[in-house]
Amino acid sequence: MPWYLAPSLAQLRAEVNARWPHRSKASDGTIGDEAHSARKSDHNPNRRGSVNAIDITAKGISTGALIDAAKKHPSVRYIIFNRRIMNRDIGNFSPRPYRGNPHTAHVHISIYQRASAENDRRSWGIAAATAPQPDPKPKASKAPPFPLPKGHWYGPESRDPRNHSGYWKRDRDGIRTLQQRLKDRGWRISVDGRFGPDTRDVVRKFQREKRLRVDGGVGAETWAALWEAPIT
């Protein structure tokens, strides 16, 4: 039997494309791949041939607007995005941790396995919305005072007494602060109070983006830039 995308989800995709015509489609998906076919998944065609799940790439859209619209549509059973699952039937879409595919590159939307849900062609209220609103970004602000003495920095463990890696507990609050600020700016980073290789690599990318000296450490200059440099 040939498969087809559920008409209700085809309507959703059309509205998303109309509202965000220049969006990325790199992580879009409908019918499942071989890995999906080996397990129960709404990406697999049901006995009617209907595929009842769609992935919409996060880049180039407002994921918040998409998720809000999906919650309001009666066909939707659950949504997965950014390591969180929201299920209509469990807590009325209250977000819960999701341990499977993190779905950070796209928003996954599944509808009920019912013909009525598949064929519901009502508007999702997306294309009819006013001007698209981008996801909010934190504003640049004045940096808090640099916590370390002049000439010292945060960095991976070393024997240099001017380096602070989080080995000593007294340094961990400052490291958590800079990690959280990187996370708030959109970088993927753990906030654990330890300046390990992962934090160093993210700091290097930030320094390169802001045309700072790329050394992977956070001294007074990089610390200030974390708050005061334009957020791009």
- Specify the residue for token string 């995308």: 5
DSSP H/E element including 172: helix 172-184
| pTM for the whole structure | 0.55
E strands, the chain, are: 4-5, 50-51, 53-57, 76-81, 84-87, 96-97, 106-111, 153-154, 163-164
pLDDT for 135 beyond 70: no
* pLDDT at site 213: 95
Enumerate the domain spans of the chain: 4-118, 153-228
Q: Does domain 153-228 have CATH number 1.10.101.10?
A: yes
pLDDT in tens, 40-88: 789 999 999 999 999 999 999 999 999 999 999 999 999 999 999 999 9
Q: What percent of the chain has pLDDT over 90?
A: 82
Closest CA to 107 of 145, 149, 64, 141: 64
Q: What is the pLDDT of residue 140?
A: 60
Q: What integer pLDDT is reported at residue 37 of this predicted model?
A: 53
| Per-residue model confidence as pLDDT tens digits over 23-41 | 999 999 998 554 545 567 8
> What per-residue confidence (pLDDT) applies to 173?
96
